[in-house]
Amino acid sequence: MIRRATLAFITGLQFSVLQFCFLAILQINVSSAYLTYMTVAFAWMVGSVIGMWVKRLTSWMGVVLGTLAFYFVHILLTFFPFSYLALIVSAVGISVAAIWAGRFFVVMRSRFESPDKMFFHENNGFLLGIILFFVGFTTLGSSFIIFAPGVGGISLLYLNRLEFQENSL
């Protein structure tokens, strides 16, 4: 149970860090206009909804896809800054990254005895992620944006592996 709670918590943290990292790189490399914020929030929700109805997406694939989508958008904006076309492509990348944010709850639903606990732990992780992003970005700058989603992704793969092993025993 603790392992599952940790997995939900770290997943929430990763979702939060990913969202804010997307927002930061778009605000720095495209524009701080409200359109940027709307794009990130809306694209994330679209991805989450799609993710809920996608079948056959394993946790491994979901996490890797999300992390790779982030780095794709990061590289795209580095080479094509201040372009609204890049913003549109980034929106697609954000939606792809958010697919696991929807699928995660479907996959985890049966592993938690009740959904309240799943949402509770995931939300706590999200909350900590907001604070972690703010402290991390203001103190480490670009390094945080470059490394945090990757570290989060690797941690999630490890936790998912443990969870999978436990279930298969």
Partner 1 sequence: MDAALEPRQTINSFKNGILIFLVGFCLSVTQFVMVRDFVTIIYGEEVAIILVTAAFFSGLSIGYLFSLRFSQRFFKVFALVLGFLHLTFPFSYRYLAAWTDALGDEQGFVLLLLLFVYALIFSSLFAAFLPRLISYDNEWSPELRLKIFYTLELLGFCAGFAAVGWSMNKPVSAILLLYWPVLGAVLFLATGKRYWTIGYFVVGLIVGFYLDDLDKASSAYLYEKKHGKHGAKVLYSVNSPYQKVEVIEDYKNEKYLYLDGLLNLNEGDLKYLNFYIARIPAELTRPNNALIIGNGTLSSAPVVYPFSKRLTSVELDPGVLAAGKRFFTSQDKLAPLKNWSLFVDDGKHFLWTQTEFYDLIIMDIPSPLTIQEAVLHTREFYSLAKERLTENGVLAVQLSGPLQKNNRTPARVTAALAEVFDEVMVIKSSKADRSFAYASQKLPFKKEDMKNLTKGFEPRLKIISPDRVHRYLKRAVPLSINELDLVLRRGWERFTDRYFDYD
151 binds partner 1 per the rule CB under 8 A: no
120 binds partner 1 per the rule CB under 8 A: yes
Closest contact distance (angstroms) between CB of 55 and partner 1 is 11
CB count, 10 Å around CB of 34?
A: 8
Question: H-type helices in 80-141, by residue range?
Answer: 84-109, 115-140
When the beta carbons of 84 and 158 are compared against partner 1, the nearer one is 84
Give the binding-site size for partner 1 (rule: CB under 8 A).
45
What six digits make up the tokens of 147?
Answer: 């490394």
Of the candidates 57, 92, 127, 151, which one interacts with partner 1 according to CB under 8 A?
Answer: 127
150 binds partner 1 per the rule CB under 8 A: no
Q: How far apart are CA 157 and CA 62, in angstroms?
A: 10
**14-73: contacts with partner 1 (CB under 8 A):** 24, 27-28, 30-34, 37-38, 41-42, 45, 48-49, 52-53
Binding segment toward partner 1, per CB under 8 A, in 67-75, 118-126, 147-155, 157-165: 118-126
CB count, 10 Å around CB of 32?
A: 11
Contact at 8 Å (CB) between 45 and 32? no
Amino acid present at 158: Y
Q: How far apart are CA 6 and CA 4, in angstroms?
A: 5
- Report the helix count and the strand count for the chain, using DSSP H and E: 6, 0
116 binds partner 1 per the rule CB under 8 A: yes
User: What is the separation, in whole angstroms, between the first and last Cα of the chain?
Assistant: 15
Of the candidates 60, 78, 81, 154, which one interacts with partner 1 according to CB under 8 A?
Answer: 81
Q: Which residues bind partner 1 (CB under 8 A)?
A: 24, 27-28, 30-34, 37-38, 41-42, 45, 48-49, 52-53, 81-82, 102, 105-106, 109-110, 114-117, 119-120, 123-124, 126-127, 130-131, 134-135, 137-143
